[in-house]
Amino acid sequence: MSKLQERLAAGEFVVTGEIGPPKGTNIAPVLHEAEEYLKDTVVAVNVTDIQTAVMRNGSMALCHMLIDRGIEPVYQMVCRDRNRLALQSDLLSAAVLGIENVLSLTGDHVVMGDHQDAKPVYDLDSVGLLKAMTILEEGSDLGRDMKGNPNALDGAPTFFKGCCVTPCGANPEAQAIKLEKKVEAGAQFVQTQAVYDPKTFETFMKRVEHLDVPILVGIVMLKSAGMAKYMNRSVPGVQVPKNLIKLLSDAARGDREKVSTEICGNLISEMKDICQGAHLMTLGWDHCVPDIIEAAGL
């Protein structure tokens, strides 16, 4: 059982972080950030998988390197780039490398990225990937594969399976129904897309409380008012309130990091009684994580 699973099962409020592999082979700066600012402050660290369809180093390799440094990873897997053969194979590879936490994602379309002529796969979606993990796990030692062959595996993996949800989007009911399908498919924990409206989030949490699955509220650090406005225009399901944009607008350039840290801490403080944790997406400002946790009163 992973540390993340143990802490959530114990009813603790947990905090997870997130890092992205570099576009290239220079992995040292990312590892330094993780060891210096995340290792002793968060329970686990998500590693993004070709985020926003921009080609970069792989998630699995960085997850393995985090384990070697005593940091528990959450292996993000997107369905955009691999068919069910490759997805199952990568899951088995992850298990062999000691990766336990896996977050199932459908993945941003290639039109968003830097290789728009790439061919998207989407053989499975996030629900299908969760089902694939559940199938691979079946049996104590000899699991099945997606083809349904009994005793198809010489050794079955065990994962702590996660998924994502967008609680503050235009159609929260559709998101709730999709989350129900994900939990039915095997999801054991949930990390949300960015949330900046505690009241809307609380309404969503009441809608899905029957699922009895731990939900970690996602918070993206806002580096500027311009970034907040861009998210409102361009990121589906994310809405930054005007009062937060004003705080960032009024802040001097040198104070924006401090203001953003306080915003994150205050949001967590407001929502920590209605969820089971927080997922911090700091976008390179990992050094702010200890201060965010302190500001949240955790």
231-269 pLDDT per residue, tens: 999 888 899 999 999 999 999 888 999 999 999 999 999
Of 135, 137, 102, 69, give the one whose Cα is nearest residue 2: 102
- Distance, C-alpha 53 to centroid of its chain: 16
Angle between helices 126-137 and 84-96 (to 10 degrees): 50
Per-residue pLDDT of 112-128, as tens digits, reads 877 888 898 999 999 99
Per-residue pLDDT of 174-207, as tens digits, reads 999 999 999 999 999 999 999 999 999 999 999 9
List the alpha helices (DSSP H) in 112-212: 126-137, 172-185, 198-207
The domain defined by 3-295 folds into: TIM Barrel (3.20.20)
Three-state DSSP state, 279? strand
Distance CA 32, CA 25 (A): 14
Q: Say if residue 158's pLDDT is above 70.
A: yes
Band of the pLDDT at 141, cuts 50, 70, 90? low
Q: Say if residue 151's pLDDT is above 80.
A: no
Give the model's pLDDT for residue 177: 97
Neighbours of 26 (CB within 10 A): 9
Distance CA 159, CA 6 (A): 13
Give the model's pLDDT for residue 253: 86
Neighbours of 8 (CB within 10 A): 22
Instruction: List the chain domain ranges.
Output: 3-295
Q: Which of 110-114, 131-135, 218-222 has the lowest average pLDDT? A: 110-114
Q: What is the average per-residue pLDDT within 271-284? A: 96
Beta strands in the chain, from DSSP E residues, in sequence order:
14-19, 44-47, 73-78, 101-105, 160-165, 189-194, 215-220, 277-281
Of 115 and 31, the one with more pLDDT? 31
pTM of the model: 0.94
Give the model's pLDDT for residue 262: 97
Give the model's pLDDT for residue 243: 94
Three-state DSSP state, 7? helix
Q: Say if residue 58's pLDDT is above 60.
A: yes
Band of the pLDDT at 142, cuts 50, 70, 90? low
Which residues 6+ apart lie within 8 Å of 8 measured at CB?
14, 189, 214, 276, 277
The dihedral built from the CA positions of residue 58, 63, 66 and 71, taken in this order, carries a sign that is: positive
